[in-house]
Amino acid sequence: MTGRERLLRVFKQEAVDRVPVAPFIHINFVKEFFKDDNIDVIEKTIEVYEHFGFDLIHRNCLPIGYDDIDLSGPGWNVQRQTRTDGRDETRGTTIHTPEGTLTEKFSLNWMSRYDAEATAVEYLIKTENDFDVFSRYQPPAGMVDTSGIAKAKRLVCDTHKGIIAPWIQGAFNYVAFYYRKIDDLLLDAMINPAFYNRMMEYFLERNKQVIVRYIEAGVDAFSYAGNIASGKLVSCDFFSRHVFPYEKKLIDFIKSKGVFVLYHNCGYGMKLFPVYKDLEMNVYESMTPPPFGDTVFETALEIMPKNITLSGNLDQIKFLKTATPAQIREKVRGLLDRAKKRGNFILSTTDYFGEQTPHGNIAAFAKAGRELGKYSE
């Protein structure tokens, strides 16, 4: 069974020869592996997966340089300035329209040699009027450079090595990450639901306009970020009322195009399992255990229906960095002994590898997964 066949089958909840071993490998680890900032990320990601013998879910093939704000159109004039502080950057954006000016600030802060975090420190939509102006003048979605997806498809899919699953923001994440401060967005849902719903519907459609360009380029799946409205931030009732309807619409839209959804919550998710199951994503990750999340593995295996493949549960933050190869093998054995009884499982980590993770430990993880994950001899 090829790596691609194994992964496609497990995404469809079909029988496979062994549990796929497909950790989340982000750009930071690929750069650290080669000790080089200036690598071809698409090609080198493949080499890292093959070096360790993992099943390949290629997520590092995002479209190049698309920005749904930096567009041209009547009444929409964008100006940007960037201020640097060492390697860190703060980018200010001003949008001039006939009915007012919108401003935002985005910061890029380097957390380690190869890993940076991008966060908004000032959001474009501060008031309901800001949204009205924004939605009235924002130009149609522009062209998207999907050459990276095409290249990954050629190197990964056409060679049967694995699948490609670039990142997208889920419906709630899309608004909370880019446009509206999370505190305000949560309050909107409770005290001004008409405004909240107008805003969520508008950005859902904008998100879909760009996503369809990715789909046309030939993706297998999307790594679907749903981590902001986590169980640590919202109740199951709030999620069901105010988040679920929009996530469900987007997930159904993606699946209607023949593309899989790999839904990502890398922290507190177990409280939301009763409503997550009705989203009907193809795969759910990352089942993060305490202390970095709240998922009890055995309970997750019981609660989540078998028409959703589960992925994750191996802690890469502390355990994978500090354990011995023998301890890693026993941890993998314990996970697989339980997961194989249920089936529909991908052995993975709870998020991406951090820098300075011992390569010997990663190799031990990969080897244990391949050897112990077989469904039959």
> What is the value of pTM for the model shown?
0.97
CA dihedral 28, 344, 150, 53 (to 10 degrees): 50
> What pLDDT does residue 377 have?
57
Taking only the tens place, the pLDDT of each residue in 311-343 is: 999 999 999 999 999 999 999 999 999 999 999
Taking only the tens place, the pLDDT of each residue in 27-61 is: 999 999 999 999 999 999 999 999 999 999 999 99
Mean pLDDT of the chain: 96
* Top CATH class, 3-68+141-372: alpha beta
SS3 of 303, please?
helix
Q: Cβ distance 251 to 280 under 8 Å?
A: yes
d(CA 172, CA 177): 8
Best CA proximity match to 356, nearest among 75, 29, 37? 29
